C-alpha cells in the first residue's frame, strides 16, 4: 500500500508551512490515562502510536504538559516513533504544568525553557511545529500575544523551531501574530456543537492559507444527538466518525487530530477520513433539514 493510499490519507493533505501532512492526524492527550482516570498500560500506548503511523498518520499533536502518573506523551512518542521519519510532531508552548500537575501560563522569559523541555523529551534538536497556547483548559485566551509570540519567532530564526502556530485564540490574535512571523496553524476547541463562533475564524484562516486544527472535535451535546445518530445510521458508522467527517468537511484547510488510547477507536477514527457526507447529511447535522 503506497503512502497516498493509506487510510489516513483519504481526506487529502495540507501544508503546514514546509511540512505536508495528511489532514487526519492524531492527538496524544489520551495516551496516558484510561476513561476512568487510571493509568493506561504502557505497551498499549506504544502500540497505538505505532499503529497510527502504519495507518498513514504523519501529523501527531502533543505537549510537555500531557502527563499522568508515570506516563508522559512526549516520552511515549519518543520511545515508539523516534527518529520520526516522515512524521511531523506539533507541540504547545505557553501553557504548562508544574511537577504537581498544576497548570500555569508561562511568561515570555520562560518560553525558551519550555522549548528546551520539549526538545529533551522528544529527543530532537529542533521542533517541527510549535503552537503558542494562551489561556488554560477551554478558557479562551485574551490580551496581546506579541511578546510571547515574538520570543518564539526569534527561536524560529535561531533554528530551534521550524514552523509556528497559535492556540486558544481569537481572530485578533491571528492578525497580531501574522504581523510578527508566518503562522501555519490555529488550534482551538471547535466542533459541530462547540465554539461555532469560530466558523468565521475558520474562513479567515483559509484566506491566509493557515490550517485550522480543532481539538475536542468529537465532543457531543444532547440537542443534536438524534441528528448525528441518523446520519451515522445512513452510513453504517459511529456518531464519533460522523463528527470527525463533519470537521473535515469544513474546508480543505481544516485538519483533525482525534485522540485515543485504544487500538479499536484509533482504527475507527482514521477510517473517518474516507467518510464522505452528502449535502443532505450536512444540512441535517446543522438542523436545516
81's grid cell? 516513533
Question: Residue ranges of the alpha helices (H) in the chain?
Answer: 42-54, 73-81, 111-122, 146-157, 171-178, 199-207, 225-235, 239-248, 263-271, 279-285
Nearest Cα residue to 167 out of 111, 92, 231: 92
State the Cα angle at 167 between 244 and 265, rounded to 5°. Answer: 30
CA distance 144 to 163: 20
Q: How many CA atoms lie within 13 A of 30 on its CB side?
A: 17
Distance of alpha carbon 183 from the chain centroid: 15
Cell 456518531 found at: 239
Q: Are 71 and 31 in contact (CB under 8 A)?
A: yes
Within 8 A by CB and 6+ apart from 207, the residues are none
Q: Are 56 and 7 in contact (CB under 8 A)?
A: yes
54's grid cell? 502504519
Which of 66, 104, 132, 190 is flagged as catalytic? 66
Helices (H) and strands (E) in the chain, counts: 10, 13
Q: Are 76 and 42 in contact (CB under 8 A)?
A: yes
Instruction: Enter the DSSP assignment of 41.
Output: P
> Is 66 marked active-site?
yes
Q: Please list the active-site residues.
A: 66
Amino acid at each position: 500500500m503506497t503512502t497516498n493510499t493509506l487510510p489516513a490519507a483519504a481526506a487529502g493533505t495540507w501544508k503546514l508551512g514546509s511540512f505536508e501532512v495528511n489532514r487526519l492526524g492524531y492527538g496524544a492527550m489520551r495516551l496516558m490515562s484510561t476513561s476512568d482516570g487510571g493509568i493506561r498500560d504502557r505497551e498499549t500506548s506504544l502500540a497505538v502510536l505505532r499503529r497510527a503511523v502504519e495507518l498513514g498518520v504523519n501529523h501527531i499533536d502533543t505537549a510537555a504538559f500531557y502527563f499522568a502518573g508515570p506516563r508522559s506523551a512526549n516520552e511515549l512518542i519518543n520511545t515508539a516513533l523516534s527518529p520520526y521519519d516522515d512524521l511531523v510532531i506539533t507541540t504547545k508552548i505557553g501553557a504548562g504544568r508544574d511537577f504537581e500537575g498544576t497548570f500555569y501560563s508561562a511568561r515570555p522569559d520562560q518560553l525558551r525553557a519550555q522549548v528546551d523541555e520539549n526538545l529533551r523529551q522528544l529527543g530532537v534538536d529542533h521542533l517541527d511545529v510549535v503552537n503558542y497556547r494562551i489561556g488554560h483548559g477551554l478558557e479562551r485566551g485574551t490580551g496581546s500575544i506579541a511578546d510571547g509570540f515574538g520570543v518564539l519567532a526569534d527561536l524560529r530564526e535561531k533554528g530551534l523551531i521550524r514552523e509556528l502556530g497559535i492556540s486558544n485564540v481569537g481572530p485578533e490574535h491571528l492578525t497580531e501574530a501574522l504581523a510578527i512571523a508566518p503562522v501555519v496553524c490555529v488550534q482551538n476547541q471547535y466542533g459541530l456543537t462547540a465554539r461555532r463562533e469560530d466558523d468565521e475564524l475558520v474562513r479567515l484562516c483559509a484566506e491566509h492559507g493557515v490550517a485550522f486544527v480543532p481539538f475536542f472535535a468529537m465532543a457531543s451535546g444532547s440537542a443534536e444527538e438524534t441528528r448525528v445518530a441518523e446520519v451515522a445510521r445512513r452510513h453504517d458508522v459511529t456518531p464519533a466518525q460522523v463528527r470527525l467527517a463533519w470537521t473535515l468537511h469544513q474546508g480543505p484547510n481544516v485538519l483533525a487530530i482525534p485522540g485515543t488510547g485504544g487500538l479499536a477507536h484509533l482504527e475507527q477514527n482514521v477510517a473517518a477520513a474516507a467518510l464522505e457526507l452528502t449535502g443532505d447529511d450536512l444540512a441535517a447535522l446543522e438542523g436545516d433539514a
